[in-house]
Every structure is written in C-alpha cells, then in structure tokens.
Amino acid sequence: MRTGCLIFIFILISTTNFAQSKDTIQYGNYFAKQKEKKDSWIFGTEMGMWIPIGNLSHHMIPNINTGLGIGHPIHRFRIDLYLNFYFPMGYPKEFNYYLPDTSLLAKPVVNKSFRLQVSKPIVVYRKIVLEGLFGMGVHGIDTNLQIPDSVRQNAKNKDRTYYQVSTLLLTTGVKFRHRRLGINVQFNCIPQNLFYQQVVNDFGNYSFTYSIFYKFF
C-alpha cells in the first residue's frame, strides 16, 4: 500500500514539475487556438486494457477497457468527465466478499468507473501534444452475487440487484495525442475497504490502464 502510494505521488509530482518548466513548454498559442474554436467541447471514446498489478493481480485478471468522455478547456487546463466499463478477459478469479455476518465466494462480472480528470500540456509541437493528467472518481466491481429480496427491501438503493465492491478511484499518467488520435497510459489507485470491509485487507489496490482514444469533435 505504501509503495504504491509513493509511486502514485512520484508520478504526479514529476508530471506537474515538468509541466511547470518554462524551458520545455511551448503551449501558450495552443490554448489560444483552442479558445478560438466554436466547438470547445470535445467528445471522445477510448478502448484498451486494464491490468491489475501486485496483490490485485492475485484476485483479478486483465480487463478490456471501453469508455466515453466529454471535456472542455479551462484556462491552461482541460477538464474531462469519463465513464468506463471493464470486462474480464477470460474466466474471472473468485474472491471472498464480506457481509456483516458472513463471507461468500464472488466473481467479478464487470468493473465500472466514473471520474473527473484534469490534464495539462507538457509539450506541444505542431499537432503533437503530450499531456500530464490527474483524475479522481469512483470505481465499482459488480459481482455475480445476487442480493436477496429481503435485504433489498431494507436497502437504501433498492434498484441494485447484485453485490458490488465500491471505492474511491485516483489516477495519474500521461497521454500522447496527434490531432484526433492518441494513446493514454495511467497508474490507478483503488483503495479497497476504504469505507467498510468488503474484501480481504490484502486484496490489492493498484493497476495500469493502457488505451487508444479518439475524439470525434
């Protein structure tokens, strides 16, 4: 846990410090051109891989990552909202899901996340842009365990039919873009049992995301 947090903080500080270096950044005109465009709102999609690392790889397998995003430039930053779904590649591993009075064997069916992401250009060269990014949101793992009707009637969210592992999502990384097409590389932290115990304490918290993204307009 501590090692992963140090990696996360190091990547975040490195990209931020590099982005503040006056010797390497030439992006003043870049945002001026962005503001001149009538359609500053950007819609896009991404597809790639979500790779668990460390202890998380003992409980989860790699997932196919698909997502949709919408963003808008604000001053020298870009603010984006992303909705992503992750589907296991192969037969998912089982893990113990903790309930107040017992534990059950569960399998992940689909992961999903919703995040707010802030990005800033590090290097701009003609149509090529390298950006550093930081994001925060929520991450959920939908399991194959169905919630009994008796439990759903007393629950706050009566529409949920399956148990879910939910937690905070923190992410940092870089994206390389040429016009409408680009590559996104992120280091993710999803601290398990942050609010209450749902899985074992050594379930794992870290993953990488590699994806190709395309903006429509």
How do residues 45-103 score in pLDDT, each as one tens digit?
999 999 999 999 999 999 999 999 998 888 788 899 999 999 999 888 999 999 888 88
Instruction: Tell me the residue type at 16.
Output: T
- Residue 205: pLDDT band with limits 50, 70, 90: very high
Highest mean pLDDT out of 2-6, 39-43, 129-133: 129-133
Residues 139-153: pLDDT tens digits? 999 999 988 887 777
Q: Which residues in 81-100 are b (16+ Cβ under 10 Å) and which e? A: ebebbbebeeebeebebbee
Enter the pTM of the model. 0.79
Residues 111-132: pLDDT tens digits? 999 999 999 888 888 888 899 9
pLDDT at 193: 83
d(CA 146, CA 144): 6
Residue 123 sits at the vertex; the CA angle it makes with 26 and 66, to the nearest 5 degrees, is: 140
Going through the chain in order, the beta strands assigned E by DSSP cover: 42-52, 63-74, 77-88, 95-98, 103-106, 108-125, 128-146, 162-178, 181-189, 206-215
Indicate whether 5 pLDDT > 80.
no
Length of the chain: 217
For 87, list phi and psi in degrees, rounded to 5: -115, 130
Choose the weakest-confidence range: 6-15, 85-94, 121-130, 177-186: 6-15
Domain ranges of the chain: 2-215
Indicate whether 137 pLDDT > 90.
yes
Contacts (Cβ under 8 Å, ≥6 apart) of 191:
1, 167, 168, 170, 205
CB atoms within 10 A of CB 50: 25
Q: Which CATH class is domain 2-215?
A: mainly beta
d(CA 172, CA 199): 25
- Residue 3: pLDDT band with limits 50, 70, 90: low
User: Helix (H, G, I), strand (E, B), or coil: what is residue 59?
Assistant: coil
If 0-12 CB within 10 Å is exposed, 13-18 middle and 19+ buried, where does residue 143 land?
A: buried
Highest mean pLDDT out of 25-39, 103-117, 154-168: 103-117
Largest CA distance in the chain: 63
